[in-house]
Amino acid sequence: MPELNTASMPDLVFAILFFFMVTTTMRSETLMVRLKLPQASEVQKLEKKSLVTYINLGPAMDIKYGTGTQMQLNDKFAQVEDIQDYIAQEKASMNESDQQLMTVSIKADEDTRMRYISDVKQALRKAYALKISYSARKAEN
Amino acid sequence: MAKKKRKVPSLNASSMADVSFLLLTFFLLVSSMDTDSGLARRLPPPPQNEDQLETVKVQERNLLVVLVNSSNETMVKSQVSTEWYQTDAELHGRGNKPSLKDKVKEFVLNTNNNPLLPELMEEDFGAPIGTVPVTADHVVSLQNDATTSYKTYIAVQNELVRAYNELRQEGARKYFGSDYDNLTTDQQEQVNKLYPQRISEAEPKNFGGGN
């Protein structure tokens, strides 16, 4: 019986490996709020991941923080007043040419009251982070 | 001179495949391919000083007010008519009411040059569109209550975007004879200029009280 030549197997696997290494972005934060994103049909994909900053809004997973809407920036809960510092920090970590293109993705639970969203929006305006995106799931309707 | 034949020791590379497979599985597991998607918006820059809030005057006929109240009902009001939508289905045009999308399209187009709908102005958009009358100054003002739910708000936002997207699609069909998605970036820009998204998101007011 002729044997199959598997000498090129490592090369193949390495090729796939490199593909994944390049395309992957490590999940850097663990979600601490419950997010059920609203649905929308006209959503656009956010192009460059490195230019996107996330703001998560929703009820806390852990019941000890209560059932109200909480905001998570990076890995901890924060108040609306912290947004400006957060944005400034994120901006500082970017290239100067990329700062103009910075997008803030607001990921909010669909049951969130607009009051919180508006507060966040006002804070973002003050921080001059004017490009925003309301995160939503793609749906046909 | 005796020549010693040197043997190059060969490295045993048979475990290379195993090692790379391990690495591969690791990256397969940690990678998240999901890309975020959403409705893109541009916020207005912050007011220079606190007193000059919302001083932009807009002619009444150029304004379409879309209001979402605390019980998640939507009202759309222009100089011509006012419409109430109680549910999502009505928003999409079921239940004997014109859908929000159609109302917005009618408002932006003003095909019959209705004096109660936004003013038509001749503007040059370059070939092949040429000079056409458009409602350059129209504003869709989206207002919401503090207790409006985000879900409804996004549903309404989505309908507004859908209205503009359909207008652009129709424009692309009319002037370029192909789908909007198939146009070049420059052509898309031209169509976007023809139908610019002029949605203003005002600060919410607390009409309904409640939490």
Q: How far does the CA of residue A3 sit from the closest CA of chain B (Å)?
A: 16
Prediction ipTM score: 0.78
Average pLDDT, chain A: 85
Q: How far does the CA of residue B46 sit from the closest CA of chain A (Å)?
A: 5
Judged by CB atoms closer than 8 Å, whether chains meet at A130 and B92 is answered as no
Q: Tell whether A113 lies on the interface with B, counting CB pairs under 8 A.
A: yes
Domain range summary for chain B, segments of one domain joined by +: 60-201
Predicted confidence (pLDDT) per residue in A79-101, tens digit: 888 999 999 988 888 888 888 88
CATH of the domain at A60: 3.30.420.270
Give pLDDT, residue B201: 82
Give pLDDT, residue B210: 43
Query: Which residues are within 8 A (CB) of B123 and not within 5 positions of it... i.e. 6 or more apart?
Result: B131, B132, B133, B134, B136
Predicted confidence (pLDDT) per residue in B168-200, tens digit: 999 999 899 889 989 888 888 888 888 988 888
- Token pair listed for B130: 């040429």
Element at B41 (helix H, strand E): strand B37-42
Mutate to test the interface with A, among B14, B39, B48 (most CBs of A within 10 A): B39
- 3-class SS of residue B14: coil
Q: Tell whether A128 lies on the interface with B, counting CB pairs under 8 A.
A: yes
Q: Is residue A123 part of a domain?
A: yes
Q: How far does the CA of residue A122 sit from the closest CA of chain B (Å)?
A: 8
Predicted confidence (pLDDT) per residue in B82-113, tens digit: 888 888 788 787 777 888 888 888 888 888 88
Handedness of CA B30, A132, B47, B147 (dihedral sign): negative
Q: Is residue A100 part of a domain?
A: yes
| β-sheet bridge partners, residue B37 | A45
Q: What is the count of structural domains for chain A?
A: 1
In this predicted structure, the answer to whether residue A141 has a pLDDT above a threshold of 60 is no
In this predicted structure, the answer to whether residue A16 has a pLDDT above a threshold of 80 is yes
Predicted confidence (pLDDT) per residue in B42-84, tens digit: 888 887 765 555 556 677 888 888 988 888 888 888 888 888 8
Predicted confidence (pLDDT) per residue in A35-61, tens digit: 888 988 888 888 777 788 889 999 988
Residue A53 and residue A98 in contact, taking contact as beta carbons nearer than 8 Å: no
Judged by CB atoms closer than 8 Å, whether chains meet at B36 and A45 is answered as yes
**Band of residue A27 on the pLDDT scale cut at 50, 70, 90:** low
Give pLDDT, residue A96: 85
In this predicted structure, the answer to whether residue B208 has a pLDDT above a threshold of 60 is no
Q: Is residue A21 part of a domain?
A: no
Q: Is residue A4 part of a domain?
A: no
Q: Tell whether A93 lies on the interface with B, counting CB pairs under 8 A.
A: no
User: What percentage of chain B has pLDDT greater than the value 90?
Assistant: 8
In this predicted structure, the answer to whether residue B120 has a pLDDT above a threshold of 80 is yes
In this predicted structure, the answer to whether residue B33 has a pLDDT above a threshold of 70 is no
The pairing of strands A131-135 and B37-42 is: antiparallel
Which residues form the domain of A87? 28-138
Give pLDDT, residue B211: 40
Q: Is residue A95 part of a domain?
A: yes
Give pLDDT, residue B209: 44
Q: Which of B169, B199, B194 is nearest to B39 (CA)?
A: B199
**Band of residue B205 on the pLDDT scale cut at 50, 70, 90:** low
Q: Which of A128, A109, A25 is nearest to B48 (CA)?
A: A128
Judged by CB atoms closer than 8 Å, whether chains meet at B40 and A103 is answered as yes
Angle between helices B100-109 and B150-176 (to 10 degrees): 50
Q: Is residue A54 part of a domain?
A: yes
Phi, psi dihedrals of residue B183, rounded to the nearest 5°: -75, 160
Judged by CB atoms closer than 8 Å, whether chains meet at A17 and B20 is answered as yes
Q: Is residue A56 part of a domain?
A: yes
In this predicted structure, the answer to whether residue B158 has a pLDDT above a threshold of 70 is yes
Angle between helices A114-126 and B150-176 (to 10 degrees): 60
Judged by CB atoms closer than 8 Å, whether chains meet at A10 and B39 is answered as no
Q: Which chain A residue has its CA at the smallest distance from B162's CA? A: A42
Q: Tell whether A124 lies on the interface with B, counting CB pairs under 8 A.
A: yes
